[in-house]
Amino acid sequence: MARKNECIDDSGAVPLVSIVVPVYNVEQYLGKCWDSLLSQTLKDIEVVCVDDCSTDSSLAILREYAGKDSRINVITSEVNGKQGAARNKGIRAARAEYIGFVDSDDYVAGNMYADLHEAAVKGGADIAVGDYAEYYSDNDVRPQWNGEKEVLENADRKERDRALIARTPRIWTSLFKKSLFADNGLFYPENLFYEDNAIGQPLYLSGNKIVKVDRLCYFYRCNNLSTTKRQNDYRFFDRMETSKLYLENMKRLGFYSPYQRECEAVFFYLFYEATVMGALFHFNPPARGRIDQAKAEIGAYVDGFSRHRYGYTIRHATTLSHGIILCLIGLNTGLGVRVCMFARRCKRFLKRGEGRLRHHA
């Protein structure tokens, strides 16, 4: 349950863009994020920040900013519902026609929302997509793929949708019509991590028209220890549940039937490949129980996998090495785990040997 909203602009004017920012224990990054939002060249915005029971000074920082700028709407949650619940509160509180999302440890370019809003309005689009970069330090900023203009703006809806299923832009790089969420029943799963997996693709596919802005808009921080990067954290396996929700949404909205093979390939990666590889390499010892769970359940969702397990795995794994590991796991979990652990030990031994040689060189 959320507490009463704080610092709402009561002028009655409806902003052009609402920016939803979930906040949880990010005091060291919050200043840069908020400075980038409040210095947008598009001034007619509101920033809906949802504090998800932070235990550091994040909420105090939010209130300090809100006291200086009436465009900020602070919502405080009484129960920690994870990022999905915070985003849902923000979506429902947003007043603008268009909504964007920013993670509170990231930051954005000063003209991001002016560029995206202008492109969306001029193009009569439901969604506008910008580019992004991974931020490691001020001297290490790496631009990333986020969709080609000719693909996202393709007038052939089937071709566009197939391309979107194969590779989907990142949600926080985009501006969406608020109506897409309610009209399609697309809200984030709550109390789960990897929440984007459940609604990202069906959200983009629900847009009648998408426009692409080929400018760097968003900076995704990679030098922090986020929840999804930690070792031995069993919340990693929330991805199995959000993968199932992904399939449910695709079926409910009518996208599964015409693109069954493509949807099953996405599910194979989200539910099976990423789960097994994570269980092997993000856990010490490997999480064998979750590997066995993924093996037992994948066939119920992917028709081709149950008929031709090893052939399907080799064809759809993202790399040949992953395919080989997954085939060994499919043959025998214990065998696959032992081979992977032996390979890891060999790799560490070789790295130590290289280090000693460089030291004595």
DSSP for 193-245, written as a single string: S-THHHHHHHHHHH-S-EEEEEEEEEEEE-SS--GGG-TT-GGGGHHHHHHHH
Mean pLDDT for the stretch of residues 91-117: 97
Please name the residue that has the structure tokens 């400018």: 215
Sequence length of the chain is: 361
As a whole number of Å, the end-to-end CA separation of the chain is 62
Confidence (pLDDT) at 229? 57
pLDDT in tens, 305-341: 878 899 999 999 999 999 999 999 999 999 999 988 8
State the pLDDT confidence band at 263, using cuts at 50, 70 and 90: very high
Q: Judge whether residue 118 has pLDDT over 80.
A: yes
Confidence (pLDDT) at 304? 78
SS3 state of residue 57: coil
| Cβ neighbours for 207, distance < 8 A, ≥ 6 positions apart | 125, 126, 127, 176, 177, 180
Confidence (pLDDT) at 305? 87
User: Please, are residues 307 and 300 in contact by the beta-carbon 8 Å criterion?
Assistant: no
State the pLDDT confidence band at 9, using cuts at 50, 70 and 90: low
- E strand segments, the chain: 17-23, 45-51, 72-76, 98-101, 107-108, 127-137, 140-144, 174-177, 210-221
> Could you tell me the domains of the chain?
17-229 (3.90.550.10), 259-354 (no CATH)
Task: Report the candidate in 107, 104, 87, 120 with the shortest Cα–Cα distance to residue 17.
Answer: 120
User: Please, are residues 329 and 279 in contact by the beta-carbon 8 Å criterion?
Assistant: no
Q: Judge whether residue 4 has pLDDT over 60.
A: no
State the pLDDT confidence band at 1, using cuts at 50, 70 and 90: very low
Task: Report the candidate in 229, 4, 285, 236 with the shortest Cα–Cα distance to residue 105.
Answer: 229
pLDDT in tens, 23-61: 999 999 999 999 999 999 999 999 999 999 999 999 999
Confidence (pLDDT) at 352? 64
Confidence (pLDDT) at 328? 94
Q: What CA–CA distance (Å, rounded) separates 248 from 242?
A: 10
Q: What CA–CA distance (Å, rounded) separates 342 from 211?
A: 48
Mean pLDDT for the stretch of residues 78-102: 95
Q: What is the mean pLDDT of the chain?
A: 91
Confidence (pLDDT) at 359? 45
State the pLDDT confidence band at 226, using cuts at 50, 70 and 90: low
pLDDT in tens, 278-295: 999 999 899 999 999 999
Q: What CA–CA distance (Å, rounded) separates 238 from 39?
A: 36
φ/ψ region of 181 (left if φ > 0, alpha if ψ in -120 to 50, else beta) reads: alpha
Residue 225, φ and ψ in degrees, nearest 5: -100, 80
- 247 CB neighbour count, 10 Å cutoff: 20
